[in-house]
Structure 1
Amino acid sequence: MRRTSFLKIIAALACAGLLPSVHAQGAVDKQLSSQPFTIVAPFPPGGPVDTLSRILATGLAERYKQPAVVDNRAGASGNIGIDLVKRAAPTGHTLLVVPAGNLTINPTLMPKLGYSVEADFATVASLAKAPNVLAVNPSVPARTVAELVALSRAKPDSISYASPGVGSGLHLAGELFKQQSGADILHVAYKGSAPGLNDVLGGTVPMILGNLPALLPHIQSGKLRPLAVTDPTRASALPDVPTLAEAGVPGVAVTSWYGVVAPRQTPAPVLAQLARDITQIFNAPATKAQLEKQGLYVWITTGPAFGELIRKEAATWAPIIKSRKIEPQ
């Protein structure tokens, strides 16, 4: 193609709004370069939300030559940090990194939540996902999911499972497993993942449904025995562990994921640029390798598609919450 013809096509696409103009792109870059960034992580340091927030902060700081800090605003099941971002100026400089449950479960579980995902936030992108693992203390005689289900039926109320709280994604995954497998298991709710995991490691509670990043070190050391993963596909970190579907329990494809949202009125061009930045930051080979060592896998969905993902997952959890009469405690 001749150079003049190519330039005419590019110009026509720009006039039709199919390509961003150099001027518009320059304005977005200038705006995002104008002040520091705050990445709000509404949970304590040390977990996946904190890890992903720090990667995002580092990437934005390098891209825009501005400071980018992570603000760990823990409390009220993440609602303190969420409210902070809800009220922030919609410039693209204050972003929220959250797990799926805050966007897909809590709006149904907590009618008086204080925020609406659609009314108060603009979707930017998902970041990563982490398979969930069904694991037991090695003292439990079951070595397969089928053996666990049979054991729970033979000895009712003998098998309980730990979760990080009533209405958490892992609690609902347990209820879905119970429904689909017919297992006779009891739910034991904790205030967070760590205390529940400690009790399973100590043998007080025999079973746990947990995120792979939290359970992986204990699986590798032999302190936990993995029976299945709840992801639709096997985890590369646990290639010999079957999915629940492979283990004979279909319909429990539950994956923990994490994403970024911004205040609702953030301009569309800014959201689009942030989505492109996130895609570049998290798809860097070194970043992907770093996260995979922790059991996290880069998983990018941006803009309206990310919003649709949230809506579909919320619609999946709502009937389970209502039918099982799950209420916050």
Structure 2
Amino acid sequence: MRKSRLFAAALCVGLGFSFSAYGQVADYPSRPIRFIVPLSPGGLVDTFGRSVAQHLSERLGQPVVVENRPGASQALAAEALARSQPDGYTLLIGTQSGIISTTILRKTLPYDPLRDFAPISLLFESPLYLVVHPSVPAHSVAELIALARAQPGKLNFATIGNGTAPHIGAALFMKSTGVDFLHVPYKGSASAIADLLGGRVQMMFEGGVSSLPHARSGKLRALATTAARRTEAMPELPTIAEAGVPGYEVATWFGLLTNAGVPRPIIDRLNREAAGMLKLPATHAKFREAGIELLASTPEAFAQRIRAELPQWTKILRDIGIQAE
């Protein structure tokens, strides 16, 4: 009799959890969603992240509140996601730099991206553009290389932090050409671009959203793109490879993640909404000018890409001389 009562009690507890989880999924979302952007306002990640947040808000019927959490090579934003409740009410627009490079380069992290995050979908991939201040006496990649060789260690470049895509782009360029630039890291694109426009730094490998409007206006000079082929955004601009650095190519991905443990139906719902946004003509029109390639994926494909890239990029970062902090 006692065993029967214990079984009945356990069954009730189990059903209680089941009904609670079902209610959580069925009602989702029933309150505002926190949307973490790992960089300062004004750059490519922030611009695209706010577009994703607005689309999700319209589709889900709840406010999606953007929270910029720059710092520690994007580890602060990732930690905020890892410490959140696994209920689908905290999302992160993760970058290849923040998820892959930071995991490799920082000796200790309070989270494990393979254990603590649930990938939802890849969103897009972006090349970078090599832009210089107009005072730099170089109008081509070849002229920049010649200038750097004549003045070793004198030219500097801005990035948004150690191990980020702009840093990788510059480090690979230096490794491939044998030149030496001085690294000047910033917390975000907006402050880096502001100093580049002011002539306080001389060059940058940066996404098109932040750099191309200034290149088109003449405030900066674009020399080349890091893409494998010329972009629609600026088709007259050569790739770095065709400008004299064979085999050079850099592009970086961005994706949507949540906390591990979020119920699968919620992840599937968010995946469908992200894929729907990437199919919209308005989305294509908005980001085509920056040379962005939109990339929808399944949660499984995104997770597999993260697992595969961690060992791959460990070797790449070591080979181009980017060191752990």
CA distance, structure 1, for counterparts of residue 283 and residue 23 of structure 2:
29
Equivalent residue for 2:211?
Answer: 215
In the superposition, relative to structure 1, how do residues 136 and 53 fare at CA in structure 2: closer, same or farther (>3 Å)? closer
CA distance, structure 1, for counterparts of residue 24 and residue 285 of structure 2:
31
Equivalent residue for 2:243?
Answer: 247
1:143 aligned residue (139, 143, 147): 139
CA distance, structure 2, for counterparts of residue 288 and residue 246 of structure 1:
27
In the superposition, relative to structure 1, how do residues 65 and 233 fare at CA in structure 2: closer, same or farther (>3 Å)? same
In the superposition, relative to structure 1, how do residues 227 and 74 fare at CA in structure 2: closer, same or farther (>3 Å)? closer
CA distance, structure 2, for counterparts of residue 54 and residue 155 of structure 1:
41
CA distance, structure 2, for counterparts of residue 158 and residue 75 of structure 1:
27
CA distance, structure 1, for counterparts of residue 154 and residue 230 of structure 2:
28
Secondary structure at the aligned position of 2:123 is classed as strand
Equivalent residue for 2:115?
Answer: 119
CA distance, structure 1, for counterparts of residue 164 and residue 233 of structure 2:
24
CA distance, structure 2, for counterparts of residue 327 and residue 294 of structure 1:
31
Q: Does 1:72 find its partner at 2:68?
A: yes
Cα distance, 1:102 vs. partner? 0.9
Q: Does 1:51 find its partner at 2:47?
A: yes
Gaps of 5+ in 2: 1-21
Say if 1:125 and 1:260, in contact at 8 Å, map to a contact too: yes
Equivalent residue for 2:81?
Answer: 85
Cα distance, 1:258 vs. partner? 1.7
CA distance, structure 2, for counterparts of residue 199 and residue 44 of structure 1:
15
Say if 1:126 and 1:300, in contact at 8 Å, map to a contact too: yes
Say if 1:134 and 1:226, in contact at 8 Å, map to a contact too: yes
Per-residue Cα deviation, 1:163-198 (whole angstroms, up to 9, x for no partner)? 222322211211111111223333333343334333
CA distance, structure 2, for counterparts of residue 92 and residue 253 of structure 1:
36
Equivalent residue for 2:323?
Answer: 326
Secondary structure at the aligned position of 1:140 is classed as coil
Equivalent residue for 1:97?
Answer: 93
CA distance, structure 1, for counterparts of residue 290 and residue 306 of structure 2:
24
CA distance, structure 2, for counterparts of residue 192 and residue 242 of structure 1:
26
CA distance, structure 2, for counterparts of residue 256 and residue 83 of structure 1:
21
Deviates more, 1:304-313 or 1:98-107: 304-313
Say if 2:42 and 2:210, in contact at 8 Å, map to a contact too: no
Say if 1:162 and 1:188, in contact at 8 Å, map to a contact too: yes
Pairing 1:168-187 to 2, within 5 Å after superposition? 168-187=164-183
In the superposition, relative to structure 1, how do residues 288 and 62 fare at CA in structure 2: closer, same or farther (>3 Å)? same
Say if 1:73 and 1:81, in contact at 8 Å, map to a contact too: yes
Secondary structure at the aligned position of 1:123 is classed as strand
Per-residue Cα deviation, 1:225-265 (whole angstroms, up to 9, x for no partner)? 11111122222111111111222213332113321111111
Deviates more, 1:26-35 or 1:106-115: 26-35
**What CA RMSD, in Å, does the superposition of the two structures yield over aligned residues?**
2.5
Deviates more, 1:299-308 or 1:100-109: 299-308
Equivalent residue for 2:125?
Answer: 129
With the length of structure 1 as denominator, give the TM-score of the two structures.
0.82
Counterpart residue type for residue 68 of structure 2: N
Say if 1:228 and 1:242, in contact at 8 Å, map to a contact too: yes
Cα distance, 1:141 vs. partner? 2.7
CA distance, structure 2, for counterparts of residue 274 and residue 97 of structure 1:
13
With the length of structure 2 as denominator, give the TM-score of the two structures.
0.83
Equivalent residue for 2:15?
Answer: none
Cα distance, 1:217 vs. partner? 1.7
